[in-house]
Chain A
Amino acid sequence: MANESQPTTGLYKETLLAGLWRENPVFRLLLGMCPTLAVTAAVKPALTMGLCVIFVLVCSNIIVSLMRNLLKPHLRILMFTLTIATFVTIADLFLKAFALTMSETLGPYVPLIIVNCIIICRAEACASKNGLIVSVIDALGMGVGFTLTLCVLAAIREVLATGMIFEVQVMPDAFVPWAAMGMPVGAFITLGLMLGLVNLTNKKKAKSSCHEV
């Protein structure tokens, strides 16, 4: 990771972009799958979820980065959890106060951000080793990467399941919605195929290990 004493703009850019594609938390790290699947029936909740994650990620990365030299090994994870849980609670309160419908749609998946591996992973892998700026940029990159992925997934599902996107009709009237895409099946299969597609785009020369006839 970055050496704090000589941060460069290039590094920041690098860090930011890493989260968007190269180390995209959903596609590459396969982390945080539960919200990815649960909230992507439509774009709106997906976006809300993504924003919450960005908020929590940035805040917790800031705190962890500031405290990074004071952490004791046996309490490190506990400390991360505590920090994250705090910001998740705050985010939840905000949602309840300013976006009640969204809060109801997302239900328990907002508090579940606490155990979303992306956040704790970034706290551990980046913030606890890096300075404030790098941590924040990393959090933003990861968060935006997560949000974008969520939104793409949600867009596909929402269009097919309802013919709408952001609750605006986009498909022709003759289109009969595929209700299954709004159900768990749709979530699993769409994400599976998307992952496959992503694997395909950066497939390295893979060797088959079987004795073909």
Chain B
Amino acid sequence: MLKDIRVSCSPHISERLSTRSVMIDVIIGLAPAMAAAGYYFRIHALILICTCVISSVAAEWLCNAIRKKPNSLDDFSAVVTGIILALSLPPNLPVWVAVIGSVFSIAIGKMVFGGLGANIFNPAMVGRTFLTASFGVLMTSWMVPVTIDSEIAKIDPDNKIKAVAEEGLVHARTRATPLAWSKQAIKSELGADLYSEEQFKATLTGEVGGSLGETSAIALLLGGLYLLIRRTINFHIPLAILVSAFIFGAIAYLIDSYSYVQPLYHLSSGGLLLCAFFIATDPVTAPLTRRGMWIFGIGVGMLTMLIRIVGEYPEGVMFSILLMNAVTPLIDRLCKRIPAGGKPSA
């Protein structure tokens, strides 16, 4: 009668969802940011994104080949890592640096832990941090968007735009990066009010210097919204990050509104939005439970602002991500779920 039947454990049906579809969703969510990057940085964006994706994928393939494990490229997670890494790098980064970063991300950040799902730290951030530590100068040299008239942009001969303090009010959009500017304002006691309305608008559209994918707040919000609607990510982590960062920024602003920028500027500039929607939400490295996600998000937000405000670096996103990744196992342990019926008495 029946010849070709199968047996297996229940359940025998499942939702139409796969790791690959989740990853593709993330790529779609990143598309607006990539488009914005492409618009503002043109060929630089294309080169950087392609380099990172290709070398990430190649590195993953190689690692699997070395371990004689089945190929795992079709889950697309390496592509996501590549894109996120690219979006967090300065647009004019030399290609070879991007290759080193991608290979480090995948090999040390992911594959040595056992590949997809096993990594403790966010691979892209591991790569970026390594690059920052290794090639600090290259990693902090920013270019202005090509859409800005070169007449206005006072680009130094060596193409490193260090904000020129003595010229006072430089054209808002040509300052290094919004955060670097605000940091410098604190240090040189120029006062953060130089951080103008115009600049804030520029951070929304993205016509500012900065990492490839972080400049346009609107594009990031759009992508984040897509992920939220698709339920690829939960709202907990982004909300916790943005709210805690805002509160922290607000406290600093209230204490000294002369040297610290308005909290809203903090949200719109730098990698915070990219982080909140795409990086901190990396499910692998974030806590599993809702309560854990709140703690994680608040931690990321607070650490980011702590580093931005008190620390040495203008941007704290990648460090706070890695730090919170490190304590994620502890958070998960702390937020261990208790069965619905309470702990068994025995």
Contacts and interface: CB of A to CB of B under 8 A. Distances in A.
A199 to B, nearest CB: 13
Nearest to A200: B66
B133 interface: yes
A183 B133 contact: yes
Interface residues of A, number: 11
Contact of B136 (A179, A181, A189, A192): A179
A180 interface: yes
A185 B112 CA distance: 15
Interface residues of B, number: 10
Main secondary structure of the interface of B (DSSP, over half): helix
A52 B94 CA distance: 43
B108 interface: yes
A55 interface: no
Contacts of B133: 179-180, 183, 185
Contacts of A196: 112
A180 B134 contact: yes
A178 interface: yes
Which residue, of B100, B130, B134, B138, has the highest number of chain A Cβ atoms within 10 A? B134
A176 interface: yes
A185 B136 CA distance: 15
Interface in B115-135: 130, 133-135
A32 B134 CA distance: 27
Contacts of B130: 180, 185
Nearest to B138: A176
Contacts of A178: 100, 134-135
A188 B133 CA distance: 14
B108 A181 contact: no
Interface string A192-213: 1000100000000000000000
Nearest to A174: B96
Nearest to B100: A178
A181 to B, nearest CB: 7
A189 B108 contact: yes
B203 to A, nearest CB: 30
Interface in B123-172: 130, 133-136, 138
Interface string A48-63: 0000000000000000
A179 B138 CA distance: 12
A180 B136 CA distance: 9
A176 B96 CA distance: 10
Contacts of B138: 176
Contacts of B108: 189
A179 B135 CA distance: 7
Most buried by B among A181, A185, A192: A185
Interface in B235-254: none
B134 to A, nearest CB: 4
A183 B112 CA distance: 20
Interface of A: 176-181, 183, 185, 189, 192, 196
Given A180-B130, A192-B112, 6 more contacts: A179-B133, A179-B134, A180-B133, A180-B134, A181-B134, A189-B108
The 8 closest A-B pairs by CB, nearest first: A180-B133, A180-B134, A178-B134, A179-B134, A180-B130, A183-B133, A179-B133, A189-B108
